[in-house]
């Protein structure tokens, strides 16, 4: 699953919350709502219900960076679930991604040094950029990279930022360097992508989406043994995302295709 063209994994390490003050009923209510929303998002994959719960929590707190980036994430996941076969459907999907960017922007404005807020802003901006056309929105893609690199400066253990930066590199290198370089996208690099995929996997070894994306990058690089090392582990991993069943099938197909490659 490629982040810029596929799903954004909901991951438990990014949603841990501090315990609420024992003497604050509103804080307790907010904490309960967030715990419910995280459970719905992580375990039931019901992004619309999660969005409703996050929104209720936000109504009790006002501007809150932690809740705002979670709302952004929910909008992205909702957008991923929408059909996109017609112009009207694509407009509806784009509207979800624009909403995601709006809330991520608010989160980052409140807390400019929030690694997850920056990560979500980068992911949402990348989705919007693809609708506008990557090569017509070079400046936006450079801002995606800047947000992710700064997110990792703030928190090098942010596995989602590593994964997002890796997939950003993979998207950029779809065009030859000679075309990208004059546009300011000469930085795209498959080796850098693999480095960030591997860092993401080190931090979250159990996410299928990370391993399939990394394996595909290795296949493109002709490093088939490294690809097989990830692909053979995928059947043993528990699905943690709506798209993991499809990723498993893709892993089997890819493994079959490269089984005799040296």
Structure tokens at 17: 């919350």
> What percentage of the chain reaches a pLDDT higher than 70?
90
pTM: 0.89
Average pLDDT, the chain: 89
Looking at residue 183, what DSSP letter applies?
Answer: G
Q: Is the pLDDT of residue 167 over 90?
A: yes
Q: pLDDT for 85-141, tens place per residue?
A: 898 999 999 999 999 999 999 999 999 999 999 999 999 999 998 887 766 667 788
- Banded model confidence at residue 151, pLDDT cuts 50, 70, 90: very high
Of 90, 94, 121, 97, whose CA–CA distance to 108 is shortest?
121
What pLDDT score was predicted for residue 92?
Answer: 95
> Whose structure tokens read 């979670």?
70
What pLDDT score was predicted for residue 135?
Answer: 60
**What whole-number distance in Å separates Cα of residue 191 and Cα of residue 111?**
32
- Reported CATH class of domain 12-204: mainly alpha
Number of alpha helices (DSSP H) and beta strands (DSSP E) in the chain: 12, 0
**What whole-number distance in Å separates Cα of residue 30 and Cα of residue 181?**
48
Q: pLDDT for 47-98, tens place per residue?
A: 999 999 999 999 999 899 999 999 999 999 999 999 988 989 999 999 999 9
Q: Between 26 and 156, whose confidence is greater?
A: 156
Structure tokens at 196: 């960030």
Domains of the chain, by residue range, sit at 12-204, 205-262
């Amino acid at each position: 699953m490629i982040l810029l063209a596929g799903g954004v994994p909901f991951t438990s390490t990014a949603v841990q919350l501090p315990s609420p003050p024992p003497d604050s009923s509103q804080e307790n209510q907010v904490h309960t709502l967030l715990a419910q929303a995280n459970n719905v998002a992580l375990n039931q994959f019901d992004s619309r219900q999660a969005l409703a719960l996050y929104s209720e929590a936000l109504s009790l707190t006002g501007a809150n960076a932690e809740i705002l980036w979670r709302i952004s994430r929910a909008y992205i996941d909702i957008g991923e679930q929408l059909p996109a076969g017609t112009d009207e459907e694509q407009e509806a999907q784009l509207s979800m991604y624009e909403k995601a960017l709006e809330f991520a922007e608010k989160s980052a404005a409140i807390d400019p040094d929030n690694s997850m807020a920056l990560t979500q802003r980068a992911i949402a901006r990348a989705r919007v950029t693809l609708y506008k056309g990557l090569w017509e929105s070079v400046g936006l893609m450079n801002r995606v990279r800047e947000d992710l690199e700064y997110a990792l400066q703030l928190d090098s253990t942010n596995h989602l930022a590593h994964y997002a930066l890796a997939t950003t590199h993979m998207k950029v290198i779809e065009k030859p360097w000679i075309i990208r370089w004059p546009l300011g996208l000469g930085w795209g690099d498959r080796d850098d992508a693999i480095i960030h995929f591997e860092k993401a996997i080190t931090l979250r070894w159990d996410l299928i989406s990370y391993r399939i994306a990394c394996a595909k990058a290795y296949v493109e690089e002709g490093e088939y043994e490294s690809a097989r090392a990830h692909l053979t582990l995928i059947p043993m991993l528990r699905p943690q995302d709506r798209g993991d069943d499809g990723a498993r099938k893709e892993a089997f197909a890819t493994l079959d295709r490269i089984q005799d490659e040296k």
